[in-house]
Amino acid sequence: MLTMYGIPNCDTVKKAKKKLDSMGLEYEFFNFKKETPTNDMLARWEKFWGELPANKRGPTFRKIKEQYEGASAAGQKKLLLENLSAIKRPILEKGKKVVAIGFDEDAYSKL
């Protein structure tokens, strides 16, 4: 079973959901507006992405950019968990294995 992490009104998440639906793939949706990711989740995402999955082009991140860049690794995680809209999305996992961060139609087509 796939799990998609994100925010329902995000355009990129909407595209990703539409793609999964068109492929007939079932998934659970983890809504950042209702649930908070754990430190273990952030660690998995960081390992896959090579850094914390901060959405550096988004408006929420821009508001915390200076604070984020000046923070320790633990401080950066704390900032992301306090500002969930600053996490890059969607994040797609199968089991506890990350298969995609962000939406890439080619990557999704290979699922």
Catalytic residue among 4, 5, 6, 10: 10
Report the chain's terminal Cα–Cα distance, integer Å: 11
Side-chain half-sphere CA neighbours of 58 within 13 A: 19
Is 58 among the catalytic positions?
no
Classify 5 as helix, strand or coil: strand
The residues annotated as belonging to the active site are: 10
